[in-house]
Amino acid sequence: MPTYRAPIRDFQFALKEWLNIEQYSGKVSGFEDLSFMDAVLEEGAKYCEEVLFPLNQLGDEQGLKHVKGDDGFNKVILPDGWKEAYDQYVANGWGSFACDTAYGGQGLPNVLNTPFIEMVCSSNLSFGLLPGLTHGAYSALHHFGSDLQKAKYLGKMSTGEWSGVMCLTEPQAGTDLGLITTRAEPQSDGSYNITGTKIFISYGEHEAVPNIVHLILARLPDAPAGVKGISLFVASKYNVDDNGEMGTRNNIDCGSIEHKMGIHASPTCVMNYDNAKAWLVGEPHKGLKAMFTMMNEARILVGIQGLGIGQVSYQNALAYAKERLQGRALNGAVFPDKKADPITVHPDVRRMLLTMRSFAEGGRILALWIALNVDLEQRLEDGDAKQEAEDFVDLMTPIVKAYLTEGGTTMASLAVQTHGGYGFIKEYGVEQYMRDCKITEIYEGTNGVQALDLVGRKMPQATGRLLRRFFHPAQQFVDENKDNEALSEFTKPFYQGLKSLRQASLWIAQKALANKEEAGAASVDYLRMFSLVAIGYIWAKSAKIAVEKLAQGTDEKEFYETKMATAKFFLNKILPEHFSLLAKITAGAKYLEMPDVKVA
């Protein structure tokens, strides 16, 4: 059976030592009192370990049921225990943690909520999609909804009493939303009738809550073609009056649920809208901008999903490797009193375990780093610091989404590999992590799309201003620590990676001016390189903290020595991949030519 324990001490390291969030106390709203931080981590861990995690394998095995209800509409039956776990989630106030106090929220920083999100994803990814999507829908309405729409929906959504979904994809329109055909017909009362079909709608139908709020992309009768003709609408399973009370059932129905590779307990629905009553959100034909608010938040969330799977995969691989006896160490028996040594004596097993640990701990800081900047972007007054935070979030969103999800799938695969044949057996649990995590590389924009976003939109924006939000602090770190011999084992490999990233950035910028195919061909390798260098910076700075703590004397000697060992591994065994990535990037687009495929 798999196990999970929330990495509370590592969250504390990231929040208190690496990010030093206490520096914002009294300076940024929401950060006034951080004394409850440890209590939040401990309570979140208790809920995830004791309530959500025991349901994970059960939900995977039991799956979902799609049945006809007494009212003639289809309904989805969730696995046993799901509704009770969600009711406890709502009762504990987790849904309202980072929501606006004006609508029943607690108004607390995202950076303090992010550890809980990771814990939920580690313990039960299928469950985590439900509150995660609700918060995304809440954010879009909070930014773009009218005062009446906010009053009708946000209170129940912030607490989690009602859930929310985003309805973009259609059978013929995935990434290219300009192809959507769902129609919105204006009515005399100011509402619109929505007709069309949306697919891949996670938690589009379920009975954990009495009402589900749908944010729907559709076209008005006078809509111009393409993405410039998309509008955003809000509808709900049960119509809501101006006082926020539920009324008649809306013409929204779940036609079917998908049978999937993973996340078996999360209903992925085909939703049919047959003259469903809806209301315009924001301006006509401006829906894509509003939906991207929701999508960008969702992309960060999906990255954390991959991180969560990577963490729980590592924990189970480590526990198994310490107990599994197979063979002897290459230089002779380490435990001669036993029939064999534990497999941790084998270099390749340690390589896999260190790869997983360096990913999880480095990725955790990356996720919290972007969460902190989301807070600064939202809470600071207009000025340079606010702009810098916004730039950083824009730059790092595709990196967080792509690197953490690809990494999560890879770490789950390594966990299966570490278990050997037992990894292929359902009882041990790690094969589920591999199946569950794969979708994170695909939804909310495939990782290839994230790479195109990075090189096509983020890199050239404002003549490279966004890139400077990473390059400047990274270079400053190198300049401040280059003469520190105690850090040379960390700073030198990091500087080499930073140098390669600069070379790759310049090469792409120059080549793309003449041929955009060059940027597209380099995009995935460039995102991978940028991700590794960003994590390299995180590990170099982590090592500095550890070196200083050990020099000062600490009663957590093992914790900081482990940080140093993991930093050395990543910077010297993982980061050097930047050399090969630079070679692949500068090889150019010509090697992607296919004689039987037409290229414009």
Residues of the chain with pLDDT > 70, as a percent, come to 100
Q: What's the mean pLDDT in 329-356?
A: 96
Mean pLDDT (the chain) is 96
Q: Is the pLDDT of residue 503 over 70?
A: yes
Q: What is the pLDDT of residue 396?
A: 98
Q: What is the pLDDT of residue 594?
A: 87
Q: What is the pLDDT of residue 596?
A: 85
Going by pLDDT thresholds of 50, 70 and 90, the confidence category of residue 595 is: confident
- Residue 336 phi/psi, 5-degree rounding, is -65, -20
Going by pLDDT thresholds of 50, 70 and 90, the confidence category of residue 350 is: very high
Helix (H, G, I), strand (E, B) or coil at 285: coil
Going by pLDDT thresholds of 50, 70 and 90, the confidence category of residue 306 is: very high
Q: What is the pLDDT of residue 55?
A: 98
Q: What is the pLDDT of residue 157?
A: 97
Backbone conformation region of residue 417, classed left if phi is above 0, alpha if psi is from -120 to 50, else beta: alpha
Q: What is the pLDDT of residue 598?
A: 75
Contact 211, 237 (CB under 8 A): yes
Tens-digit pLDDT profile for residues 531-580: 999 999 999 999 999 999 999 999 999 999 999 999 999 999 999 999 99
Q: What is the pLDDT of residue 529?
A: 98
Q: What is the pLDDT of residue 600?
A: 63
Cα 72 to chain centroid, rounded? 37
Domain limits, the chain: 456-591
Q: Is the pLDDT of residue 474 over 90?
A: yes
Tens-digit pLDDT profile for residues 19-69: 999 999 989 999 998 999 999 999 999 999 999 999 999 999 999 999 999
Tally of helices (H runs) and strands (E runs) in the chain: 17, 11
Check 205, 297, 444, 518 and give the catalytic one.
444
Contact 134, 163 (CB under 8 A): yes
Q: Kindly report the number of other CB atoms within 10 A of residue 401's CB atom.
A: 30
Does the annotation count 444 as an active-site position? Answer: yes
Please report, for residues 100, 140, 191, 243, 485, the alpha-carbon distance to residue 150 in angstroms, rounded to integers and kept in the order given: 11, 10, 16, 11, 57
Going by pLDDT thresholds of 50, 70 and 90, the confidence category of residue 326 is: very high
Structure tokens at 213: 């709020």
Q: Render 311-358 in DSSP notation, one character per residue.
A: HHHHHHHHHHHHH-B-S--TTS-S-TTSSS-BGGGSHHHHHHHHHHHH
In whole angstroms, what is the distance from residue 237 CA to residue 215 CA?
A: 11
Q: What is the pLDDT of residue 175?
A: 84
- Residue 277 phi/psi, 5-degree rounding, is -75, 130
Q: What's the mean pLDDT in 102-122?
A: 97
Tens-digit pLDDT profile for residues 2-18: 999 999 999 999 999 99
415 compared with 593, residue with greater pLDDT: 415
Q: What is the pLDDT of residue 357?
A: 98
